[in-house]
Amino acid sequence: MRTIRTTLTPEEMPRRWYNILPDLPTPLPPPLNPATKEPISPSDLEAIFPKSLIAQEMSQDSYIDIPEEVLDAYMLVMRPSPLQRAVRLEEKLKTPAKIYYKREDLSPAGSHKTNTALAQAYYNKMEGVERLTTETGAGQWGSALSLACSYFDMKCRVFMVRASYDQKPYRREVMRLFGSEVFPSPSDQTDFGKSLLAKDKNHPGSLGIAISEALEACIKDDKAKYSLGSVLNHVMLHQTIIGQETMLQFQKLGEKPDYLVGCVGGGSNFAGFTFPFVGQKLKKKLETEFIAVEPTSVPTLTDGKYEYDFGDTAEMTPLLMMYTLGHAFVPSPIHAGGLRYHGAAPTVSALVNEGVVKPVSYQQQEVFEAAALFANQEGVIPAPETSHAIKAAIDLALEAKKNNEEKIIAFNFSGHGLLDLAGYQAYLDGTLT
Ligand SMILES: *Cc1c(COP(=O)(O)O)cnc(C)c1O
């Protein structure tokens, strides 16, 4: 039998998260207070985040221990996850390259997002927080945080972009089943939501608007804190469990990847998968190339500006130095809902700016074609977000074929597409727009 799947035992699972901040080529530009343009102080964030997560956000420690309770919870979400080789895809493409994919779709919530959701719920619980507020676009983050709040016996209030709330009823029911309250955003729960509904009672909403609502709901509730599923340093940190496992798996295989590929919405699955390797490359111990993939219709890294911008639409967040399309950007309603964000994580942005990470973009149609090919060869239906990484990996494998090179390509399989069948329906019916 060929080595198609490389696994780790629970005992082999990494016990620490990797923090890239001290290894960055230049220090990360700090978040700024929008009024004074001065760097924000940790205490400015205490209204919305617990102290432990604020400390992680700014930590210069290279590694941070994963609490025992979170290690236990990682068992529930099927960690460590396998690294699988896409042999049937390689054969179909007739490429000499090896293609590997890291299985983050095996979490019961369907994506990598539980890696940080469980950690965030745990730290909030430890500091006496009773409820988390958050936003969700397509519903993957809302599902992951709802699972985590249910696991740690906390309440959860989710503001879901109205267009998705109406189009994706099943994600909504997942969240409700886990005990969360789910509101279509803009909602009548906040002043900001009410002001938008007064202008347009059928407002479709956006991720930036939902973030503003979740922040307002948190600030008005002293038992609540706010939770964000991507972008921030502590979220990237928690996701590095993915890349550290992958590193051990490549050691078992006795191979080094030439390319690591991931899709980028806010940047967390890409960061989690690549940062442990990026750290090695910055220390000149590896030559791997890092490819960040985004939709052509939301070209944050390939066509955005590297500047300070707000994380939300209502201008409530600190200013973050990042690639951005502008916080008023209204993304087109592509099926990869998780990639429809105007900005990208400051850490990922800095590495793009330094030329360490290379961004590419693809059109929706070619991404769905790649997803269909992958599903037929490997039997796994990818999320539309993940399919962006698949398209890029296939292109690298075809390039290797042209040059007759045995390249080793790995991508992060960030989530499954079993609750995204409306997108596949449109693809199969030929009505993708
Ligand atoms: C949320 C999500 C993404 C995009 O978010 P990142 O923070 O960029 O990882 C990608 N893939 C899946 C399956 C998601 O759920």
Domains for the chain: give ranges and CATH numbers: 5-12+78-110+240-429 (3.40.50.1100), 17-64+113-233 (3.40.50.1100)
- Please give all residues whose beta carbon lies within 6 A of any atom in ligand 1, as ranges: 111, 113, 140-141, 230, 263-270, 338-339, 383, 385-386, 414-415
Q: pTM for this one?
A: 0.97
Question: Cβ contacts of residue 56 below 8 Å, gap of 6+?
Answer: 19, 64, 233, 234, 237
Inter-residue contact 390 to 368 (CB < 8 Å): no
Residue having the nearest C-alpha atom to atom 5 of ligand 1? 265
Q: Tokens 């948190």 identify what position?
A: 218
Please report the atom of ligand 1 found closest to the CA of residue 230. Answer: 7
DSSP string, 135-181: EESSSHHHHHHHHHHHHTT-EEEEEEEHHHHHH-HHHHHHHHHTT-E
Torsion, Cα 33 156 265 257, to 10 degrees, reads 110
Q: Name beta bridge partners: 262.
A: 292
Inter-residue contact 360 to 379 (CB < 8 Å): no
- 299 SS3 class: coil
DSSP state of 39: B
Question: Cβ contacts of residue 144 below 8 Å, gap of 6+?
Answer: 107, 109, 111, 113, 114, 116, 117, 229
Please determine, for residue 314, whether its predicted confidence score (pLDDT) is greater than 90: no
Cα–Cα distance for residue pair 36/46, rounded to 1 Å:
18
Please determine, for residue 19, whether its predicted confidence score (pLDDT) is greater than 90: yes
Inter-residue contact 331 to 297 (CB < 8 Å): yes
Mutate to test the pocket of ligand 1, among 81, 390, 414 (most ligand atoms within 8 A of CB): 414
Please report the atom of ligand 1 found closest to the CA of residue 229. Answer: 7
Please determine, for residue 260, whether its predicted confidence score (pLDDT) is greater than 90: yes
**Which pLDDT belongs to residue 215?**
96
Please report the atom of ligand 1 found closest to the CA of residue 272. Answer: 9
**Which pLDDT belongs to residue 240?**
98
Q: Name beta bridge partners: 308.
A: 321
DSSP string, 343-374: B--HHHHHHHHTTSEEEEEE-HHHHHHHHHHH
**Which pLDDT belongs to residue 332?**
81
pLDDT band at 267 (very low <50, low <70, confident <90, very high): very high
DSSP state of 43: G
CA of 263 to the centre of ligand 1 (A): 7
Q: What's the pLDDT tens digit per position in 138-192?
A: 899 999 999 999 999 999 999 999 988 987 789 999 999 999 999 999 999 999 9
Please determine, for residue 252, whether its predicted confidence score (pLDDT) is greater than 90: yes
Mean pLDDT of the chain: 96
Residue having the nearest C-alpha atom to atom 4 of ligand 1? 265
Inter-residue contact 15 to 25 (CB < 8 Å): no
Q: What's the pLDDT tens digit per position in 102-126?
A: 999 999 999 999 999 999 999 999 9
Among the residue ranges 261-265, 312-316, 354-358, the one predicted with the least confidence is 312-316
Please determine, for residue 76, whether its predicted confidence score (pLDDT) is greater than 90: yes
Residue having the nearest C-alpha atom to atom 10 of ligand 1? 385
In the structure encoding, which two tokens stand for residue 155, read together? 């309440």
CA of 250 to the centre of ligand 1 (A): 23
CA of 84 to the centre of ligand 1 (A): 19
